[in-house]
Chain A
Amino acid sequence: MNQAPRHEGRAARVVETIFTILIPAFAIWFIWQATMVPEPPRNVVVGPRTFPIIAGVLMIIVSIPLLMQRLRVHRDAASGLGRGGGDDAFVPGEDDEVHVGDRRAVVVVLGALLSLFLLLETLGFVVALSLFVFALATFFSRDRWPRNLAVAVVFALAFYSLFTYVLRIRLPNGILEGYF
């Protein structure tokens, strides 16, 4: 827990700043979308636009100190000051898991999950979930593939049966439709 503050590289700093710039951009888009909501014909005190607009304006206000924080970080980095982070020091952040050591892993997980969602109804739950659990687990522990395969198939079959026969929630079973 008491690690020395990590110094972030220039690229990481820029990415975080881009994210922070997206906040007011999102707020403006949100307000613009809110103004397109049709007002109901009756003359009401507060229409459906009011609340989203208030939220959007507050978001823009909040983004100002956030952007100023980023500005300070860049200035400190440029002048070689090691203050880093630029975060409000009132409370220490939970440092243990806000960093990602292995970016490829994140891309793989996101890709695997997206493929699962896209193929879920075509392949059916049993096949899609087995493949997903097996593939992802094996990517991270290559030498244990027989164990991963067994766990994946048992998991998918067990939960498919649980949903279908106990909870009576019909799940699409794609290519296995008709078998069970």
Chain B
Amino acid sequence: MTADLQELYQEVILDHNKRPRNFRALEDGRKAEGYNPLCGDRFTVYLRMEDSVIKDTSFQGSGCAISKASASLMTESVKGKTLAEAEALFDRFQRMVTAPPDLPVEDLGRLSVFAGVRQFPVRVKCASLAWHTLRAAVEARNEVVSTE
């Protein structure tokens, strides 16, 4: 397998694809649906907040390995964070997956496994779908978020 593919499909990503964390519905929270028409990824992101802290978040749906692993790792990363912190993390994540492949990127801890997405511009939408959907859930927008 080529090096860029190895970087894209890292063990952590494959593991979260196979065994997604927080893969369940939340009865008592906000939710939003995200849709990527290019490949048919479709996720619902659930969110329970207290004041401006994300107390719990989860997701359900289907999609490619990148989108599913991204949703899974996102739910783990933002739990316990304030909305402002989550929003800042999304910005940094977005910068990382869209940075030019030859430049160094910021260390985002476990989310750094998605740095390989930079080599695959058409897959950026897969990686960021769950984050866009989370933002819609925060804003309690009652609509389907589309990556198009």
A binds B: no
Binding site for A on B (CB under 8 A): none
Which residue numbers of A lie inside 8 Å of B, CB to CB?
none
